[in-house]
Amino acid sequence: FRFFYLKNFLDSLNITKAALDLASTQADAAYEQVQKLQEQAFKVHLDITFNAPNIIIPTNSYSDEALLFDLGKLTLLTRFYDDPKRSLVEQQNVRLENVLASRVKLNHDNNILGEIILLECAELNTLINRLLYPEKIKTEPGVSIKVEWDLVHFRLAKGDYSCVMKVLMENFTENIRDQIPETAQLEQYHYRQEEQEKEEEALRNAVIKRQQGSK
């Protein structure tokens, strides 16, 4: 009986050792697979074109004078090519054009009546080259960036400077809530409270009706 018990105990140790060996082998295989994935080149192809928004910032809430920022058009193009010296290269071209800032006069419908250009920019080109196999070429950088911006034209007259300072001193420090009459704030509060009470009453009635229907 003791011999049989000892034999079972040794067999269980052998099974445990086999299971540990199998787990170790699988862990090594998983590690090798991760290493292979890291060594492989990760390629992303993006082609994007969109018109950036226009931002209008008035000097204050009641002013017809404002600053207009046109963020222009953004284009992103991606291509891949083989370079004899650098192997496979991913090249991204980021182009930003038609960016400008101006001082504008607005009518009651917030349409522009007049405009004075403050900032004009030539086309901004950014070229990004990324080596997909940098471990093969040790003498070249993995990522190189080249930026071209030929012209930035900025002009600011006395009236333009005054408009910019008004935006900074009035718009950015303005508290709209302080300008709303207290009676209007109370009316808005009571209106919201009444609406909330109506919603709660409707929800309560729906629950009571559902409970009565289930009986």
Question: Which tens digit of pLDDT belongs to each residue from 48-90?
Answer: 898 888 899 999 888 889 999 998 999 999 998 887 776 788 8
Strand partners, 102: 68, 117
Mean pLDDT of 172-178: 68
Domain total of the chain: 1
Is residue 18 included in any domain, yes or no?
no
Residue 109 pLDDT more than 50?
Answer: yes
Q: Which domain holds residue 169?
A: 43-200
Amino acid, res. 155: R
| H helix or E strand, kind and range, residue 73 | strand 73-83
**Contact present, 107 and 94 (Cβ < 8 Å):** no
Is residue 162 included in any domain, yes or no?
yes
pLDDT tier, 190 (very low <50, low <70, confident <90, very high otherwise):
low
| Tokens 């000097």 sit on residue | 59
Is residue 120 included in any domain, yes or no?
yes
